[in-house]
């Protein structure tokens, strides 16, 4: 979970980032309510898909707005000064439109906002909630919408991870490492992609020691179909297949994302040669990871390993940021305008997909520092 100190620190950074005349902020993106108040509705709960709003006031702390059933579905105790909870279901009366309950909670605080300038995360606020603000004569910041986009400000802050975020991310990494290790024990001819998924999922969640989400690529590629990906199918592995295991473990909204490819049987010489190119590309990318490096230069370093080997340039991004979303900045692509900063958590993921060889991809996760990068993933990178 995120800590009270971490949430308070992020709220201070947000206040420093918005104009000084702003007196209140209405946060609507569920990821940002989590980021700033440790309130995250668990997707494996009966309130999955529901959400809360977070009202931040410069001189009056943080207020969580939600219905009475959603508030009890948080994965952990929210860090806020008060809660405004509207009763949606009381075990006595019929359940009304639940979305109206969130709007009703907002309606209770609108009178306190009148006459004070604020910012609304408009990208995520329901129209019904916006109408409530208009009825209350609440003033949103009149300046340039791009310069004052609350969602954009928060996304920029998310780049640099705080210690409590890194603790969560490391927990995700450990669970993912364990799942990769389990894959080495079970991948063989005859096992289905779905069975690999179940074994990896079970091991990862056992290591995390709590409920979480597992998603990603659990697919066997073949010499004829090198571009397969996505969730598992009933397909059973055959000799010559290359199984791409590229998955994430999500805990309290934060996630890992790393990859290995395992050969079913003895890899061919061309598959081994392709692996060496991918390994060289991964090492080349690692060598330039540090604060201040242009994301486009990271892509160039990774892709150069392919062209130096007489192959086509890397056909997709060389990696990306991770955290509350996937992918998120910085993005390692040829025309990226992103620049690495200390506190970024990123992936590198060179891959190759060739008819007659098969598809393979290899990926590590890193914490960017001023002097280089700390590798956060520790799984085995190898075809065999």
Residue 201 has pLDDT above 50, yes or no: yes
Name residues whose C-beta falls within 8 Å of residue 180's C-beta, 6 or more positions apart in sequence: 200, 245, 258, 260, 379, 380
Longest distance between any two alpha carbons in the chain, whole Å: 72
pLDDT at residue 140 in the model: 65
The reply to whether 163-375 shares the fold of 4-157 is no
Number of helices followed by number of strands (H, E) in the chain: 9, 17
Q: Please name the CATH architecture into which domain 4-157 falls.
A: 3-Layer(aba) Sandwich (3.40)
pLDDT at residue 103 in the model: 96
- Kindly list the distances between the CA atom of residue 158 and the CA atoms of 90, 165, 329, in Å, as whole numbers in the listed order: 37, 10, 9
Name residues whose C-beta falls within 8 Å of residue 103's C-beta, 6 or more positions apart in sequence: 126, 128, 129, 132
**Residue 372 pLDDT grade (very low, low, confident, very high; cuts 50, 70, 90):** very high
Structural tokens at position 332 = 């390692």
Q: Please name the CATH architecture into which domain 163-375 falls.
A: Alpha-Beta Complex (3.90)
User: Is 2 strand, coil or helix?
Assistant: coil
pLDDT tens by residue, 270-308 = 999 999 999 999 999 999 999 999 999 999 999 999 999
* Residues 246, 261: Cα–Cα separation, whole Å: 8
| Domain ranges for the chain | 4-157, 163-375
Asked if 172 contacts 215 with a C-beta cutoff of 8 angstroms, the reply is: no
pLDDT tens by residue, 227-279 = 999 999 999 999 999 999 999 999 999 999 999 999 999 999 999 999 999 99
pLDDT at residue 119 in the model: 94
pLDDT tens by residue, 88-110 = 999 999 989 999 999 999 999 99
pLDDT at residue 148 in the model: 62
* Residues 246, 223: Cα–Cα separation, whole Å: 19
pLDDT at residue 146 in the model: 46
Average pLDDT, rounded, for the chain: 95
């Amino acid at each position: 979970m995120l800590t009270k100190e971490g949430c308070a620190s992020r709220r201070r950074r947000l206040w420093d980032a918005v104009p000084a005349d702003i007196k209140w902020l209405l946060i609507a993106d569920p990821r940002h309510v989590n980021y700033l108040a440790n309130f995250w509705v668990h997707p494996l709960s009966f309130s999955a898909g529901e959400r809360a709003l977070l009202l931040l006031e410069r001189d009056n702390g943080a207020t969580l707005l939600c219905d009475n059933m959603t508030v009890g579905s948080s994965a952990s105790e929210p860090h806020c000064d008060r809660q405004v909870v509207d009763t949606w279901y009381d075990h006595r009366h019929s359940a009304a439109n639940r979305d109206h309950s969130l709007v009703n909670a907002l309606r209770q605080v609108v009178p306190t906002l009148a006459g004070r300038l604020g910012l609304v995360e408009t990208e995520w606020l329901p129209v019904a909630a916006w109408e409530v603000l208009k009825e209350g004569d609440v003033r949103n910041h009149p300046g340039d919408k791009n310069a004052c986009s609350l969602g954009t400000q928060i996304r920029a802050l998310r780049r640099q991870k705080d210690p409590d975020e890194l603790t969560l991310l490391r927990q995700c990494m450990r669970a993912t490492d364990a799942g990769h290790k389990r894959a080495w024990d079970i991948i063989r001819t005859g096992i289905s992609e779905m069975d690999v998924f179940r074994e990896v999922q079970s091991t990862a969640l056992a290591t995390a020691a709590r409920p979480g989400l597992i998603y990603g690529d659990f697919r066997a590629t073949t010499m004829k179909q090198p571009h397969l990906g996505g969730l598992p199918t009933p397909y059973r592995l055959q000799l010559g297949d290359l199984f791409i295991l590229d998955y994430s473990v999500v805990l309290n909204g934060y996630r890992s994302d790393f990859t290995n490819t395992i050969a079913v049987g003895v890899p061919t010489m061309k598959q081994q040669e392709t692996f060496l190119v991918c390994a060289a590309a991964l090492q080349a990318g690692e060598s330039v990871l540090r604060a201040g490096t242009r994301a486009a230069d990271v892509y160039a370093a990774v892709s150069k390993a392919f062209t130096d080997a007489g192959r086509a340039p890397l056909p997709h991004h060389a990696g990306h940021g991770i955290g509350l979303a996937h992918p998120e900045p910085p993005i390692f692509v040829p025309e990226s305008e992103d620049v690495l900063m200390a506190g970024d958590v990123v992936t590198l993921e060179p891959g190759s997909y060739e008819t007659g060889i098969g598809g393979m991809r290899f990926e590590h996760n890193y914490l960017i520092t001023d002097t280089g990068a700390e590798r956060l993933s520790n799984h085995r990178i190898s075809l065999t």
